[in-house]
Chains A and B, each alone.
Chain A
C-alpha cells in the first residue's frame, strides 16, 4: 500500500458500499421472484413517507429499532454478541404489564419513570444471567442468550395462558391496562400545543428513545466505564494492561444492554397495544442486529438506520396490501442481506476498493461515486 488509507474509507465508504450491495442484492432477489421492484419501492416509499399517518408509523417502528439497535451495539462495544434482545424485551414488557395491571394510582409524570425503571430492571435481570455465565463460567454468550430467548417466550406463554390471562378471551393476551396508564401519544401531546397530527401509535417513548441514543453516546465516549467498555471490546490484552476488570465490564454492559432492550416494551406494550401479547417483540431483537451492524455500533448511525428500517417496516406493511402479502418477508429479506453484507461479508469489498483507489486518482473517484 503506497498510499495510507484515509479515514473516510473505513468509516464511510466501505459501510455505504456494503449497504448499497445489500439493497442491490435484495432488488435482484425480488426481481428473480417476479416482483416489480420499482413498483414495490414506490409503494413502500409512499406508504412510509407519503402521509402524516405513514410518517407516524415509521417513527413508531423506528422507536423499537432504536432500543433494539442500541442494546445490540452497546454489548458489541464490549465485544459481546447479545442475541438476547428478543427475550430481554419480552421480560421488560412483562415488568411494565405488572406495574400497569396492578396499577398504583400514580400520575403519568411519576408512572412513566416508574415503568422505565421497571422495564430496565426486568430486561437487565434477563441479561444478567448470560452475562454472569460468560464472565465467570466462560459460557458462549450467543448460545446462552438464544436459550434465554426461548425460555422467556415460554415463560410469557405460560403467564398469558395462566395467571395473567384475560378471562373470557380466547387469545393469549393479558387484560387491557387501565387507561390512565397508557403512555401519551405524540398526537395528543401535539394537540395540547395546538398542533393537529394524524393519528398513529407514535408515543412519548420515541422521545425517550432519542434520549437513550444521546445517553448511550455520552456513556460510551465520555465516561470512564464507557471508555473501559470499548477497550475491553477492542483489545483484551490492552484492557488487562490498563488494569480494567474485564468481568465487571461484561456484567455492567450486559445489564445496560438488557435494560435498553427492555424499553421496547414501553413503546409496544404501554404505548401502543396497552396489553401484554405473546409476540409483541416479533423479531425486533434480531432486527436490532441488522441495525447495529448498519449503524456501525454508533448511536448516530443507529438512529439513521432505525429511521430507515422504520420506513421499510411501514412501507412493507403497505406493500402487503398491494402485492400478495409479501410485505413482512421483504423486510426480513433486507434485514438478512444487511446482516450478511454489513456483518459477515464486511471486508469482502475492501481489497477491491483499495485496488480501485490505487489505480485512480481520488478526484475521478469522487466523480464516479
Chain B
C-alpha cells in the first residue's frame, strides 16, 4: 500500500495551559477525500493549521509521503505540496485574480516572460477544472465562493498534493453541490487528496471516503461513511454519555413575573462597503424571561446568540423591535448604552476569551471597578487606595480567589480566578438580570464548581440569568430553558426537563445542514 500523502502523528498543542490537541493523529491516503468532524473547539482547525505550518505543535511528528518533515511556515508546507483554504480567508481585493495567485510565487526570469508562462499554465488549469472567472478580473468583483476557488487554483498551480478545505461554507452550499462534486472528482483523478473540515455532516457523509472524528482535542476514530449512517456518525461526534460535572439544582417551582420581554428584535450587520445590502444579525427575536429563571442560548458560532447578549448589555445597537425590562422601555432610539444597562440592574460578564472583562495590566483592586467606576468612586470621583484594597480583598475571600492579593496584576491570576473576579464584581452589584457569555471557558474544574453554585444562589434570589455556552454539558446542568439560534433567528425553545444532551447536540448541528 502507498504511504499516506500526509500524516500527523501524536500531535499535542496547548495555548496558555488550555489543551487544544492531545495525542491527535490523522493519516490522509493519496487521492482520497477525507472528512474531519468535531464539535466547536474540538481542535479541528488547530490540527489543520499545524498541517499548513501556520502554528507549530508542542510535540508530534509530520510525515509527507512517508518522509518526516518539519513545517515551520506556510511556505514550507506549500513546498511539500500542501495547500489550504482558510475558514476566514482574506484576499487583496484591489488586485487581480492573477496577482493574488502569484502573490508569493518566487520570481524567475524576466517580468513578462514569467507572467506569460504562468498565465498559460493557469489558463489551462482553469479550463481543466472548470473555474468560471477570468484571471484578469479584480478580486473584488468575484463572489465569495469564487474567491475560495481562486485559492484552490493557486494551490493547483503550485502542484498541490494535499488540499485542506477548512470550513469552506460557500463551496458547501447546496447551490454549489454539483459543482463541488465535479471538482472533487477531478482532483481525485489527479491523485490529489482533499481534507474537508466542516460542521455540515450530511454533505461530508455524501462526499467523503473516510471521516475522522475529533472530540475535545483527541481523535476518537475513523468512520467509513458508506457503512455508517449519518445519524450514527452524528452520535459518534457528540453522543458520549452524559457526564454532568455537577449536580443539577432544580429551580423552586414558583415562577416569578416577567422580568424581561423582547419583541421582534432586529439587528442589522455593518454595511459592507460596495454593496449597500446589510445582513441581518438578528431577526425577529421574541423571548420572555421570568424572574428566577436561567436561560441558555445555544447555536453554532455566529448564529446570533452573542449578539443578543451584546444588545441586552447595551454594547450593540438594535434596529427594530422592543425590549421591556422591569419598568424601563428600551427602544432602538433610546440611546441605550452599557452604562444605562448597569443603572437598570443588568450585569454582563463577557466572554473570558475576549479579555475585556478585566484589564490585564491593572491591579486586581483596580480591575474590579471596571464598569462601575461611576458608582463606586466617591462623590468627587476620588477613591482612597485603602478602601479599594479592602473591597477587593473582601470579594476575593467570598469567591475563594487565590492568591487573595488585591495589589497583584490582574494578568498574573489564572483564567479561572480572573473569571471568578469578573463574576464577583457583577454579583456584588445585585443585578436583576445577569448576562454571561461562556461563563466557564478556560476555567478549571474547581472554579466551575464555585461559579455554578453562585449562579444557582443568584437565581434563588429571584434574578434572571441569560447565558451563551458552547459547552452542552454546562447548558444541561444549568439551564431551565434552552433557546436554539440559527442564522440570526431563534428557531426553537426547549424545556430542560424535556430534552437530553444528545438531542440538543443533534439539533444544534442539524441547523447547519439546511443551509
Contact = CB atoms under 8 A, between A and B. Distances in A.
Interface of A: 4, 7, 221-225, 227-228, 230-231, 234-235, 237-238, 240-244
A56 to B, nearest CB: 36
A235 B356 contact: yes
A179 to B, nearest CB: 40
A244 B408 CA distance: 24
Contact of B382 (A222, A238, A243): A222
Contacts of A4: 412
B373 A237 contact: no
A218 to B, nearest CB: 9
Contacts of B383: 222, 224
A241 B371 contact: yes
A223 B370 contact: no
Interface string B365-401: 0100111011001000111110000000000000000
B355 A241 contact: no
Interface of B: 314-315, 337-339, 342, 348, 350, 354-362, 366, 369-371, 373-374, 377, 381-385, 408-409, 412
Given A222-B384, A224-B377, A234-B361, A240 B315 contact: yes
Given A7-B408, A235-B359, 17 more contacts: A7-B409, A221-B385, A222-B384, A224-B381, A224-B383, A227-B373, A235-B356, A237-B354, A238-B355, A238-B356, A238-B370, A241-B338, A241-B348, A242-B371, A243-B314, A243-B337, A243-B374
Contact of B355 (A7, A221, A235, A243): A235
A15 B355 CA distance: 26
A231 B383 CA distance: 16
Contact of A224 (B314, B357, B374): B374
Most chain A CB within 10 A, of B358, B371, B373, B412, is at B373
Nearest to A226: B381
B371 A243 contact: yes
Contacts, number: 69
A209 B382 CA distance: 22
B385 A234 contact: no
16 contacts: A7-B409, A222-B384, A222-B385, A223-B377, A224-B382, A228-B373, A234-B359, A235-B361, A238-B359, A240-B338, A240-B356, A241-B315, A241-B371, A242-B338, A243-B338, A244-B373
A123 to B, nearest CB: 23
B356 A241 contact: yes
B86 to A, nearest CB: 24
A248 to B, nearest CB: 13
Contact of A227 (B337, B354, B369): B369
Contact of B370 (A7, A221, A222, A241): A241
Contacts of A240: 315, 338, 356
A230 B409 CA distance: 14
